[in-house]
Amino acid sequence: MNGPHDLGGQMGFGPVAPEPDEPVFHADWERRALGVTIATGAFGAWTIDESRHARESLHPATYYAASYYEIWIRALETLLERHGFVSADELAAGHGIWPGVTPKRVLHKDDVAAVLSRGGPCDRELAAAPRFAPGARVRTINEHPSGHTRLPRYARGKTGVVEAVRDGFVFPDTNAHGKGENPQRVYTICFEGTELWGQGADPALTVSIDAWESYLEQA
């Protein structure tokens, strides 16, 4: 979806200003926000793609006014309510009122290190051969779905070159909405800066993105 998160190439937001020597957490509540997000994600009720979609679905006024971990917590509220772990009146009250759904699994503190080191691999075996070979000229599809997509807005309807052929990975566009993993091959596509940003772009600039196979067509 064309949500507030998709800012590549958008004007009026000012320069990117990295914070020198930025700490991992600016406050204790941010550390707790990360911990709560990981712990509830371990419930097994939603996927990483659904959680990303919950963040990008926040109202733009809310999204732009929030810090990084505020966005995580606001989206987490949506996920917890959607899956029956909390209710709207509990969120408003700030404490539990109803029993709620019982999680399929619970992350215990002694298991955290092992769970984090294992991660959540999204690579999948594919039987089909790649449709595109390195060096092929391809064009990205130009569509603006209402649901989740990993094809950034600035790279839609653009022509580039296949830089590398990757393995199969879970397709986030369906996985975010409970419609299955539907794994597809991923390709690294290299675009000229002028193709993405127009004649005023730095002619020496190139941008590479990873794109699922269904995002691409032969140029």
What does the block give as tokens for 158?
């653009």
101, 83 contact by CB (below 8 A): yes
- pLDDT grade for 16, boundaries at 50, 70 and 90: confident
| Spans of all domains in the chain | 28-118, 123-218
Q: Is the pLDDT of residue 74 over 90?
A: yes
Read off the pLDDT of each residue in 156-170 and give the average, rounded to a whole number.
98
Residues 6+ apart with CB under 8 A from 26: 67
Position 191 scores a pLDDT of 98
150, 139 contact by CB (below 8 A): no
Position 43 scores a pLDDT of 96
Position 9 scores a pLDDT of 86
What does the block give as tokens for 162?
């296949």
Q: Rounded to whole angstroms, how far apart are CA atoms 159 and 72?
A: 34
Class of domain 123-218: mainly beta
Class of domain 28-118: mainly alpha
To the question of pTM greater than 0.85 for the whole model, the response is yes
pLDDT digits (tens, 9 = 90+) for 43-58: 999 999 999 999 999 9
- pLDDT grade for 81, boundaries at 50, 70 and 90: very high
